[in-house]
Amino acid sequence: MNRRPRIYYTESQRSLMWDHWQKGDSLRQIAQLFERNHPSIERILAESGGIRPAQRRRSRLALTLAEREEISRAVVAGQSARSIATSLGRVPSTNSREIKRNGDRETYRASQADQAAWDRAVPGHWEGDLLCGSGNSQIATLVERHTRYVMLVKVERKDTETVINALIKTARKLPQELYKSLTWDRGSEMADPKRFTLATDIQVYFCDPQNPWQRGTNENTNGLLRQYFPKGTDLSAYSQAKLNGVARQLNQRPRKTLNYETPAERFNQCVASTG
């Protein structure tokens, strides 16, 4: 019998969970906020006996999230530890330990580099992945964290050039203020993130190994998409127009996490605010 995958929550999600628990909401009511089952909520609350843990405080000597973001970009650019240290005003050994502690230069990812990217209060941070079907078919799924707005992108093949070209084309349809970062799974289709960033000025981040919860909004959305595209569906049969139609249906579904507004309403509000 296969074990069910463990569900993880970000710090901001845990904080929201405790806020509602302290207000007297039930486990089921809290679970509905995350579109999850209540046992996963109960597990988090039970870890500290139902009492909210004291807020963690960062040591003033520790690297900040912004510094880890800078390290991640510098590693991708091929800069040396000494060069990175100079730009941060840190000693080289600090950067070397940070990189080694989190894998190496090939696998280092600033999974917590930019707090804004994990804070749903800040729009413009997207999560993406490929949703696969039969016959080696796939579509790219993009979800904006703040509004839950979904975009589906037809991709003919899974190779890096094809996928990145499609993502670049899609990114150029949006105001720059509403596309600041993209967090992607560790698939080989995004093996050339620098080309995407150079073409769009959008930073790319990758999930840590075996941690898909770091793009949990996209994971949840892919689950909803299976209502339209069951496993085994030949996704190559869907035109971009049909994919747009499916995305439109999802974006017009009220969400409790949005106070029963729709992703489309929230996203249009953000578009209007950009002028």
Q: Tens digit of pLDDT for each residue in 14-54?
A: 888 888 888 888 888 888 888 888 788 888 888 777 788 77
Decide if 178 contacts 273 (C-beta within 8 A).
no
Q: Encode 106-136: b = buried (16+ Cβ within 10 Å), e = exposed.
A: eebbbbbbbebbbebeebbbbbbbbbbbeee
| pLDDT range class, residue 213, cuts 50, 70, 90 | low
Residue 109 has pLDDT above 60, yes or no: no
Q: What are phi and psi of 140, to 5 degrees?
A: -90, 135
Does residue 206 or residue 122 have the better pLDDT?
206
Q: Residue 78's CB: how many other CB atoms inside 10 A? A: 8
| Stretch among 103-112, 120-129, 252-261 having the lowest mean pLDDT | 103-112
Decide if 194 contacts 163 (C-beta within 8 A).
no
| pLDDT range class, residue 112, cuts 50, 70, 90 | very low
Strands ordered across the beta sheet of 125-132: 150-155, 138-144, 125-132, 181-184, 203-206
Average pLDDT of the residues in 148-162: 93
Average pLDDT of the residues in 173-178: 83
Which residues have C-beta within 8 Å of that of residue 85, sequence separation ≥ 6? Answer: 91, 92, 94, 95
Residue 62 has pLDDT above 80, yes or no: no
The CATH number fitting domain 116-273, selected from 3.40.50.300, 2.40.100.10, 3.60.15.10, 3.30.420.10: 3.30.420.10
Q: List pLDDT tens digits, range 224-272.
A: 888 899 988 999 999 999 999 999 999 998 888 788 889 999 888 888 7
Residue 3 has pLDDT above 80, yes or no: no
What pLDDT sits at residue 219? 76
